[in-house]
Each structure stands twice: as C-alpha cells, then as structure tokens.
Amino acid sequence: MAGKKSKELSYTLPEQFHVFGFSSDLLAWYDSQKRDLPWRINRDPYRVWVSEIMLQQTRVETVKPYYANFMEKFPTVGALAEAPEEDVLKAWEGLGYYSRARNLQAAAREVQARYGGVVPDTPEEISTLKGIGPYTAGAILSIAYEKPEPAVDGNVMRVFSRLLYLTDDIAKPATRIKIEHLVRQVIPQGRAGDFNQALMELGAMVCVPRSPQCLTCPVFDYCMARQEGVQEELPVKGKAKPPRPVHLQVGVVMREGSVLINKRPDTGLLAGMWEFPMVETEVERESAKQEVLSEGLRERFAVDVEVLESLGEVQHTFSHLQWNMQVWSCDWIEGDDLPAHARFVPVDELDSYTFPIAHHKIREIMKHKSDRY
C-alpha cells in the first residue's frame, strides 16, 4: 500500500467494538434501512437456502424474478427433491453457474432422505450437504435458526478489512477463517441472522468496492481504514488467472424447419444442458473454419452438412474460460443415425430445452439474421 505502513491485527477485536456497541449501531441502521427482499418475508430455512445459493456470484436484482419463479415451482424441499432435473435446470436457465442448481437438488434429496425434509440446524450436519460451504452454512444457521454462526462472504470481508485495516489477501482461505473468528466475537445474542444480513447489507449498499459512502456509514467511527484514509485501497486481493481463450465453430444445422442440438455430458461444465453443436479449432482462415466444422459434425454426429455463411460471433466468459464462438448457418445434406445425445427439433420448440446463456446469445443472432430461424 503506497505511502502507508501495513498494520497487523490479532484475532481479537479492538476494545471499542464492545464498549461502544458496534453491533447495536449496525443493527439500528439495518432495522431502518434494510431492503425489502422476497427471501426476507420469513425465516423458513429452505427459502433462505435457495436464496443464498442463487445469490452466489449473482446480483440481487437479477435473482428476484428467478427466486419467485423457483419458489412457485418448488415450494418445499420435497418438491425440489422429487422434480426432474431437467425442470430444475429450466427454472435456473439464465442464472448461470448451473452446478449450483444440480448441487441444490442433490442436497435437497439428501435432506428429504436423511432428515425427513427438514433442513438440519447444526454446523456439522448442514456442512455435509452438497454445495453448502462455510458461508452458506453460516447464513442458513443464523438467519433461519438464530445460531451465532458467522456468514462471511465477499461483502463482509471487504467491510472487516476496512474496519480493522486488515492487509491480508482476501483471496486466501486463511483470511476468511480469520475474519470469521473476528465476526463471531460481535454476533449479538438472539439477533445473529439480522446481524449477518446487516453486515452483508452494509457491504452491498454503503461499504461498496469503489467509492465507499463513508459519510453515511452507521459504523463510521469504528473504521480504522477511514481514519488512515486508505479505505479505497482495501481489501487486498490477489489477482486471479485470466480466463483461457477457446475458439469454437458453432453449426446451426437446419433440416426441414428443424435444427440440430445436442446434450452436454452429465458431468463437467454446463453438465446436462443443450447446445448447438460446436467444434474447437485454432485455424484462422474462414474456409478452413468451415472445413473443420463440417468434418467435426461428420465425426461427432454422423451427418453431412453444407456450411453456408457466418451469422456472426459470440463471446462468453466463464471464471476460467473465454469462449470465442463463430456461428455458421448450415444445411443438412444426409445422415439420420444420430447419437443418443443429439436430435433435430423444430425451431419453435427450442424454448422447451434448457440452453446455457452462451447459446441463448446464438439464438438471438439466429432470430435477427434470417426468418428461417
């Protein structure tokens, strides 16, 4: 940190947090300023659980309509456990990070089988469920069951890094563990859930990543980073590796009003979702791309096609990959013995299949390029 000396802090909170009532100051602000969010209407553990999984890596405003639709379709643990996976993925379509939905359903089936549909209320039991890490466990236990467990997400790490002038790298697991220990020391008896939500709310609304709103902060007086004028330099976060670029040729293969789609494998990236067939290649010439796509479709799907024109390009970035997709209009020539994971479907029936966001972008290109789609 340029011009500022790094301050090391022990695992014990400064005395003023207890003496001057940090928790009560934060809760007073939360009680008057908290947002009206659909998952806050009650403390049902299942509703809390679904909201926390949806909110991972996803903005609140994006989640709201998905949450309402999901809860209408799967109002209980049992309803989610018994639903076909395809229906669950369809309800999740567009939210991304689809392993969250599959893990949520797998965990719901375990809760149904082992706990009679009741979400467990101990750290030991709830942490064994698929997709539930330390943060989600703490959020469910505190919000639904008022257990004094910390729920430390990115917002909370940012808030505490600034409050205590912590220069630990928040990308490291040891830093999260340290902040959990510190948060636990100020969780008030009987209001654990509200306190954890207040910390998250503070990070989302006031102690934001850039240009924190210090003058409206309810715990302004406790903040060591603000006293030193370094609040915008915190938290410290190590840089992640940039996503690896992958170049793909995508075939929109038409046959008498139907288009070829295939289902991805049951494990791995975007598992079990449908897509337009893709072939990875590093070639640069347009004619070479067409040839690679044609050969790839023949090898994977036993179909011969004529690759016509490029419809455009689509880019989609995952945490570790960047798909650079060139989309090609193709006409089927021959080949009917498709593999089990592929099929031709009428274009007007595509909405009944679950596609990842990247392939929704392809569908938009199709709609704008030609009336044949």
Instruction: Cite the active site residues.
Output: 52
β-bridge partners, 249: 279, 326
Q: Are 312 and 365 in contact (CB under 8 A)?
A: yes
DSSP secondary structure string for all residues of 59-104: -HHHHHHHHHHHHHH--SHHHHHHS-HHHHHHHHTTS--THHHHHH
DSSP secondary structure string for all residues of 215-265: GG-TTGGG-HHHHHT-GGG-SB-PPPPPPEEEEEEEEEEEETTEEEEEEPP
- Whole-angstrom distance, CA of residue 159 vs CA of residue 209: 9
Q: Which amino acid is at 144?
A: A
* Residues 6+ away with beta carbon under 8 Å from 32: none
- Cβ-based burial of 347 (10 A; exposed 0-12, middle 13-18, buried ≥19): middle
